[in-house]
Every structure is written in structure tokens, then in C-alpha cells.
Structure 1
């Protein structure tokens, strides 16, 4: 992202309003997770308040994606505690976790290639207590590219359009806790800017967002707080206001 675009997004971030914070949207305590015999997460602790954007930073293999997958029940064995709102979900299957109002956008996107863009949008079931799905017309206002390509098959969408569709599909379900995994990876700067504006819009509407991001320039102006992971655990946690002071630490941990 060029410097001017980065500055514009920072200005938008400062102008965005945050929903009142009460009960945390997500609380993780002592989370351990395995893939088969491989022990990946080693006691992860984090809290995300309602209406916040929180970013998980770390090198590849640090455990960030596994943390999102563990929240959704997509790893092997899990121990510890994962509370969505006030509900303990560590023992729930994935479909019941989703119905707590959680939407997961994996790195691989999972677009149905044989369906049109609009068919992909209307396919997912409603989740969450409020059943508050974002209307199609609002999604098309947020992502004009999808409106233009609404009749196109998933295989004919560009990488950026597929990423927009993957996120938009979650918004159609009514989920209010969004788990976004590397949504800016490999995309053109203009698409990255569109996704940044989307995150600011959703934050202003009170959505809670947890992002895994390798693109520090994309994540830095958007997040309220940061967690840094290394070797399956949290090694740093700080507020956005502390970002400048923490840059030497981030340089050592991430090479940013």
C-alpha cells in the first residue's frame, strides 16, 4: 500500500466510531490445541471486546491461523476455555459455534466455483441470535465489484473479487464476530484499500473483528489492539496507542 493510501486509511480509522464495550465478545484462556500428535498452541490467552478490531501478528508457523481454527473447533483436541460472549464453546462442534454468531473467513476462501457470485452470497444459512443478515443491496454498496459480477461463476472472479465475496458471504449470515485470516494476502493495492474501508465500516457498525495478518501496513491503522504470537503462545500484547513505542520489539519479532 502506498504512503498516501496508508495515510487516508489512518484518517478513516481515527474517524470511525466504536460500539460501546461491555461483556467481551471473545475470551480465550489457557488454550491448547493439537493437530493429531502435533501440539501447536501452548496456553493462549486473549480477550476481544465488543466492537473492537484486534490483530494477531506473528511469523508464519507462530500459531495465528491455528488460533482462529481452534475458536471454530476445526483443530484436533482442544483444552482450556473459549467463551463467545458468556457461552463456553470449547466442547461444541463447529456448526454450533457458528450459531453463536461467529463467521470465519479462511485463507483459502472456499468459494463454490460452480455457483454464481450471487448464489454464493445467498447460500449460507443464518446464524447468531439476532438473525441480522446484511441485505444484498448493502453488500453491493460496500463491494460494487460484486454487483457488477453477480452473475459470474466463482471460477471467473479475480482473486480480489473472490476475497470480497468470501467476506461478504459471512456478512450475509448475520455473524457479528468475524475471524479474518490473511484477507489482504496477494491482492492489488486498490483491493486492499477496499477491504480496509470495509473493516472500518463494520467496526463503526459495532462488529467485532479478529484479524490474522502478515501485512503490517494493512493491519496497523485498523486495529485497536495487537497480540503477537510466537511458538504457539502470546509473547506481546499492546494497544494501538503504544504502537510507535513497540516498533523496536515488533522489528525483532516480525522484521517489520
Structure 2
């Protein structure tokens, strides 16, 4: 993938020295966050977050409300007041890069508020995001509609006439045609009927099989437990626990204490 001209490796003074192994790991990861601090105005929200997502991996960020999960996604996109530390997307440092340069690296962000336009049809909402020169091929309309068949059926319906589940499908679907290969998904199962949650789960697994990397913020543990390869738990703006899916059961007591599940 060719990087936009504005993206350069940070100077030695921009960050503390790191080892060659750490740099190699950051370069090979779809997402590599190191010692990330973030603020909203005077409020210091993230306190040294470290996490990574490998190509083709699904990672879930768990935590109670206010733990800093959504802020982590927003910090990746440059939507916080200030950031320090390191955020590398497919090897490119984005701290200090203008926010409009992040998506062209291959990042698709689906925030909790879906942003569906009432004055546009479902299909027009779907076509809104431009195809970006990310170095990756976006999914075709047919491929996306195969993932979300409800959207083909409701293509001419006004965006806000769709059910909550269909609107969530639309919010995810429209970033898939842009060329994004790293998906940042914030609470996509929240408040949805079980049948819709299951459909979203099938779509997430299909995207993983197609090579997408996914960072999923969730409170629905049952939903994420069947999707993610690894889990990070946040508390007070920090990562307090990292668990592989194979180790979930033996860490259930710890998770219950941290999450109340």
C-alpha cells in the first residue's frame, strides 16, 4: 500500500526510543497503539493504552461505561482534543496526522450514533462515503448485499424508516465499499433484537474470513465471545487485562469482577 505524502515516520524527538522488535511489531500490525494518552479539553481520559490488532484478527475492547473504550476509537480517528503516544495503522504513524488522512489508510469507523440521513433512501445512504485510495479493494455492492440481504430489499426506503437493526447494518455496510480493511465498530449490537444480533455476528465472521481486521467495542459479552480472537478489558482509561478466547473460561471470575457479567 502506498502511503499518502503527508504520512512520514515520526522523528526521534516525537516519541521515546523503542526497540527494533517493537517497531517490527508495529509495522506488521493492522493497528498498534503504544502508551496512548488522550484528552477532551482538560479531561485526561486515556492513560497509557497499549493494544494491537493483527491483520485478519478480531479484537474486542470490553469495559463498563466510561472506561475509555469509545475514546480509544475516537483517538485513533483523531477525534479527541489531544493525543500523545503512538498509533500506527498498517505501519504508519497517525499521531499528528490530520484526521482526514486517517481513513485513506484503510480505516472504517462505525460510531455508536449511526448517522443515517432521513432525507435519503437506504441506497443513497449506502453510497454516501466515497471510495478511497487506500491500497485495498472495497467490497462490491453485490458482496455487501450478500452480507446484509435486508438492505437490498429496503434499498428504496427512507433511511430512518428502516428498523434499528437495519440501520445498524447500513451503518456497517457503507464503510465496506470505501476500501477500509481495519474496522472500528462501536457497540453495533446495542439494543437490537437477537435475530439481528445473530445476523451481524455472521457478517462479522464473514468479514474476518475475507481478511478484515476488526476492533470491536462491546458490552454484549455473549455476542463478542463468539467473534473475537482476543479481548482487552479497560478500566479508568487503561488496559487492565488481555485474554485470548481460549482462556475466557478460566478468567470468568476476573471478568465478572471487572464487568459484572
Fold in common (TM above 0.5): yes
Q: Deviations over 1:5-44 (max 9, x none)?
A: xxxxxxxxxxxxxxxxx81100000100000111000000
Counterpart of 1:140 in structure 2 is 145
Counterpart of 2:40 in structure 1 is 35
Q: Partner of 2:80: helix, strand, or coil?
A: coil
Q: Partner of 2:227: helix, strand, or coil?
A: coil
Offset of 1:128 from its aligned partner? 4.8
Unaligned runs of 5+ in 1: 1-21
Counterpart of 1:178 in structure 2 is 183
Tell me whether 97-106 or 116-125 shows the greater mean CA deviation: 116-125
Counterpart of 1:19 in structure 2 is none
Correspondence 1:70 to 2:95: no
User: Of the candidates 208, 228, 238, which is equivalent to residue 233 of structure 1?
Assistant: 238
Over the aligned positions, Cα root-mean-square deviation in angstroms equals: 1.0
Correspondence 1:153 to 2:158: yes
Q: Is the 8 A contact 1:102 1:128 kept in 2?
A: no
In the TM superposition, structure 1's runs of 4+ consecutive aligned residues that sit over 6 Å from their partners are: none
Separation in structure 1 between the aligned mates of residue 101 and residue 150 of structure 2, nearest angstrom: 32
Correspondence 1:191 to 2:159: no
Unaligned runs of 5+ in 2: 1-24
Q: Is the 8 A contact 1:128 1:175 kept in 2?
A: no
Q: Deviations over 1:25-82 (max 9, x none)?
A: 0000010000011100000001110100000000000000000000000111100000
Separation in structure 1 between the aligned mates of residue 142 and residue 92 of structure 2, nearest angstrom: 33
> Normalising by structure 2, what TM-score?
0.88
| Structure 1 segment 74-93 matched on structure 2, within 5 A | 74-93=79-98
Counterpart of 2:14 in structure 1 is none
Q: Partner of 1:174: helix, strand, or coil?
A: coil
Separation in structure 1 between the aligned mates of residue 221 and residue 243 of structure 2, nearest angstrom: 15
Aligned residues: 235
TM-aligned CA distance change 1:151 to 1:225, over 3 Å: same
> Normalising by structure 1, what TM-score?
0.90
Q: Is the 8 A contact 1:107 1:182 kept in 2?
A: yes
Q: Is the 8 A contact 1:109 1:163 kept in 2?
A: yes
TM-aligned CA distance change 1:44 to 1:128, over 3 Å: farther
Highest RCO, 1 vs 2 (Cα 8 Å, sep ≥ 6) = 1
Counterpart of 1:168 in structure 2 is 173
Offset of 1:130 from its aligned partner? 2.5
